[in-house]
Chain A
């Protein structure tokens, strides 16, 4: 702040009187006279400038550490799911522009190693009905991405998840089927040995388990610690059932509880 003769310039006597902004009647009614707007506006401008500087500096600092990917915008448009009449214009435009401006755009991995294909088949809902609804919408984006020349469907993220692992964990049977038909290995293992079937079973995603088995998933495969799809469904199903008690009702979906039972039934059949 500039100082003149030891006095803060901001505290000087007001110079501008724009009292004329108020009509006479209002002034008389409210009993307010001699309103000096100049210094008030001056203060406001200074405060706003200070705010702008603070904001700008904060943003600059954040930019240094922020994780960014060229596909961020595309992924956010997939998550928004704004399909109208089987068309999502902003998505199509972003995809086109990304492909034009960045080499290997469609296979770009973000900070967690995920590609747009993996993001297109990921949702996280407690209620399986909600997931199944999303499965239909996301299939649109999955198909659009699979149409792009040069897309590599078998890419893995930093922990070895393929797009199929994400679809299985999320519980999206239609997307899982589409991915397998596009060439993904139905029995692919991520870094700690989980197959898509194991992830779907662990989450009690009945429709997805059923679909994966139809597509040739091997239910006898085991992780290094001996866990199989069936044992995972058993353990997690039992734990999930306890959510029906009062304390956890906010986390509980009756359908998922039933689905766990169905998954256990389904997985016990090949063993018999």
Chain B
């Protein structure tokens, strides 16, 4: 069957061409599909939480204005760092045990989180301030559990796919994840919040995620961890298990290409931090400028919608363009999208049909998300590809797993900056003050976006200025077959 797929002449229609690739997945067994279901439900739980997380911490758990984005930032930091720490464990203790440990912690953490500060206040008679520590403990436990998922699911996809089906397997996994992200907003968060308004709705969203995790956990019990689609890889896994995260750092830190890469990664931080704003700052921005009952799930679903469309239609076209140029374009477009929110809303009144500040905010948000996602679509895949290219051939996986290092420092900084900016320039009740003309530009959400715009614009500018210094080691012209390399990269990325 899969042979037929290969022999079928390539269709001119990119959608048909994209989906025709999936025919090869028929040769993957039940374990591959179980893994995708696990990923789907775990993804649904993650994306539903991340959309409302800052609001949940503020409105349900009683965190301060600055604290809520800060702890969302810390959650993402915990998650990245724990992934880094536990990445090798999956190969050592086996898939099912890793799933068991991971899901146990994840579900426990989520249960604690779902109770919010109620557990401390109602059952332990603690004050609101002290009850928050229980919530923070829940966040830490949950992030530790979550950290097991990503390496474990990647290992599963790799293990349960044949060499031929692997790139497509990872493509499918990425597509399925984005479908989960799309559904999380429009099909889960918005309907739940429409039914249960206010903080109760937020709690329901978190608890819905916990149920999804339980379902995902049940699927893990049916996975056969001893199945290898490529039996020879059993030995490779054994070898790989001896590599530890800090050992990896020690191995590559003195290498010149890695040092160059680190500088490059630091230069891209500005725009990459803006990627995290979507869940750190945006929910408060939407609800405070437009209304608490605003359908923020819909807005959050626009991004995965564009990514899915882009995966199918745009990405195949982009392979004809230079990686570095596309990265710069992607960064510039994403950064520039913030201009839409940085200009005063009254500027939009020159357009027909925009008469009020709320309408202006809505249009600004909508356009920003669309343009930003398009930039991200150009940037993100090229970014991984670039990291793989500058790495020596035998260290691609190490370089890719260490590419997240600068973000470890940047995430808490972003949490602090985001939290403070929200508390000063996008505080709860600002809509009333905007309506009555009490908010000057320097104290407005627009100024907050201007600050982020400046941070984001630094990245493409710095890359353009230092292009020859940092990004010319492995020009893409040296690569003989881009298609083959991309497929290989998908596998290496997952291994990393």
Contacts and interface: CB of A to CB of B under 8 A. Distances in A.
A122 interface: yes
A82 B59 CA distance: 12
Nearest to A127: B293
A107 to B, nearest CB: 18
A136 to B, nearest CB: 13
A134 B198 contact: yes
A149 B428 CA distance: 28
B66 A66 contact: yes
Contacts of B171: none
Interface residues of A, number: 79
7 shortest A-B CB distances, which residue pairs? A76-B62, A73-B128, A58-B412, A239-B355, A126-B291, A90-B121, A159-B438
A62 B415 CA distance: 9
A173 B359 CA distance: 26
B197 interface: yes
A81 B58 CA distance: 13
5 contacts: A50-B408, A76-B63, A126-B290, A127-B293, A166-B432
Interface string B420-435: 1001100111011101
B427 A242 contact: no
Given A50-B81, A61-B416, 14 more contacts: A10-B250, A43-B245, A47-B246, A58-B74, A68-B64, A76-B59, A112-B429, A122-B429, A159-B436, A169-B432, A238-B355, A242-B359, A247-B353, A250-B298
A192 B435 contact: no
Interface string A25-68: 01001111101100110011011101100110111011001111
A192 B436 CA distance: 8
Interface stretch (B87-95, B209-217, B269-277, B392-400): B87-95
Given A80-B199, A125-B292, A67 B94 contact: no
B2 interface: no
Given A43-B245, A79-B59, A124-B288, A62 B433 contact: no
A194 B436 contact: yes
Interface in A128-152: 130, 133-134
A47 B81 CA distance: 7
A268 interface: no
B92 A32 contact: yes
A159 B65 CA distance: 20
Interface stretch (B234-242, B304-312, B483-491): B234-242
Given A10-B247, A54-B412, A66-B420, A130 B197 contact: yes
A29 B96 CA distance: 13
Interface string A91-112: 0011001000000000000011
Contacts of B199: 79-81
Contact of B420 (A30, A65, A191, A243): A65
A62 B66 contact: yes
Q: Is the interface of A mostly helix, strand, loop or mixed?
A: helix
A245 B62 contact: no
A233 interface: no
A43 B246 contact: yes
Contacts of A82: 118
A111 B63 CA distance: 16
B294 interface: yes
A124 B287 contact: yes
B254 to A, nearest CB: 11
B436 A248 contact: no
Interface in B302-358: 353, 355-356, 358
B22 interface: no
Contacts of A50: 81, 408
B413 interface: yes
Q: Is the interface of B mostly helix, strand, loop or mixed?
A: helix
Given A62-B70, A77-B62, A242-B353, A47 B85 contact: yes
Nearest to B436: A194
Contact of B246 (A10, A57, A239): A10
A63 B93 CA distance: 41
A54 B290 contact: no
Interface in B65-98: 65-67, 70, 74, 77-78, 81-82, 84-86, 88-89, 91-94
Nearest to B430: A112
Contacts of B412: 54-55, 57-58
A266 B432 CA distance: 23
Contact of B355 (A57, A191, A242): A242
B129 A73 contact: yes
B476 interface: no
A73 B117 CA distance: 11
A39 B293 contact: no
A260 interface: no
B92 A55 contact: no
Contacts of A271: none
A182 interface: no
B465 interface: no
A239 B356 contact: yes
Contacts of A236: 356
Contacts of A51: 77-78, 81, 408
A29 B226 contact: yes
A67 B66 contact: yes
A251 B100 CA distance: 44
B127 interface: yes
A199 B437 CA distance: 12
Given A62-B419, A67-B66, A122-B429, A248 B246 contact: no
B198 to A, nearest CB: 7
A250 B362 contact: yes
A114 B429 contact: yes
B122 interface: yes
Contacts of A72: 62, 64
B295 A250 contact: yes
A91 to B, nearest CB: 10
Given A26-B94, A44-B85, A81-B198, A76 B290 contact: no
A161 interface: yes
Contact of B362 (A57, A61, A248): A248
A57 B70 CA distance: 12
A229 to B, nearest CB: 14
A80 B416 contact: no
Contacts of A126: 290-291, 293-294
Contacts of A80: 59-60, 62, 199
A61 B121 CA distance: 28
A86 interface: no
B226 A8 contact: no
Nearest to A122: B429
Contacts of B295: 250
Contacts of A58: 70, 74, 412-413, 415-416
Contact of A90 (B128, B294, B415): B128
B469 interface: no
